[in-house]
Amino acid sequence: AQSVTQPDIHITVSEGASLELRCNYSYGATPYLFWYVQSPGQGLQLLLKYFSGDTLVQGIKGFEAEFKRSQSSFNLRKPSVHWSDAAEYFCAAHSGGYQKVTFGIGTKLQVIP
Amino acid sequence: NAGVTQTPKFQVLKTGQSMTLQCAQDMNHNSMYWYRQDPGMGLRLIYYSASEGTTDKGEVPNGYNVSRLNKREFSLRLESAAPSQTSVYFCASRHPKGEGDTQYFGPGTRLTVL
């Protein structure tokens, strides 16, 4: 069955520190991959997406993600975290066409001063 | 261009009451989705409509019905609300076409069933 796994439910980092949020997928072929961010009380906002080509993709708010086929991973990174990055982050995938989107359970990021 | 809009933003129901959550998109997307979000469970798909005129069950359809009214609108109905349906509901839309194939979300409806 197709699945998206986010192994870290909760992560705490200090402001200014680097960040890496993990995402692994299980699909028959390489799916389209996405990261969304959800601030408290808000909807989901697209941070970035990977369809094909360059395995390092840049997104909004200074985020980037690297696709690694050999590890079935699509980890999200940011070099220096800001307090406003505190939110919940969701990794998602689908196989294109009319296939349903599969979401991970989310990683809640806490940023401490 | 408003994207995906949802009404209402908040709702409190008593057990057994019915209500309809409304969703509309102005991006000319073919596919629309209803999710519920509960703490520790991420987003779970309730129903989806791959294209106008079709609807299909997702992971957690029990207690819900949907109507794809036209290409723009996709409503979710709770016929007899139960406390287990207390949740945040998100509508999303998507147009399955190459690199534009991205799902966009509405702001959510926060529903409490007493």
Helix (H) or strand (E) holding A91: strand A87-94
The nearest CA of chain B is from the CA of A6 a distance in Å of: 10
**What's the token pair of residue A38?**
């959800």
pLDDT digits (tens, 9 = 90+) for A31-68: 899 999 999 888 899 999 998 888 999 999 999 999 99
pLDDT digits (tens, 9 = 90+) for B46-91: 999 988 889 999 989 999 999 998 999 999 999 999 999 999 999 9
Q: Do B40 and A36 touch (CB under 8 A)?
A: no
Residues of B in contact with A93 (CB under 8 A): none
CA distance A108 to B41: 12
Q: Do A44 and B99 touch (CB under 8 A)?
A: no
pLDDT digits (tens, 9 = 90+) for A1-34: 789 999 999 999 999 999 999 999 998 888 899 9
| Number of Cβ within a 10 Å radius of residue A106 | 25
Q: Do B101 and A94 touch (CB under 8 A)?
A: yes
> A70 CB contacts (<8 Å, ≥6 apart)?
none
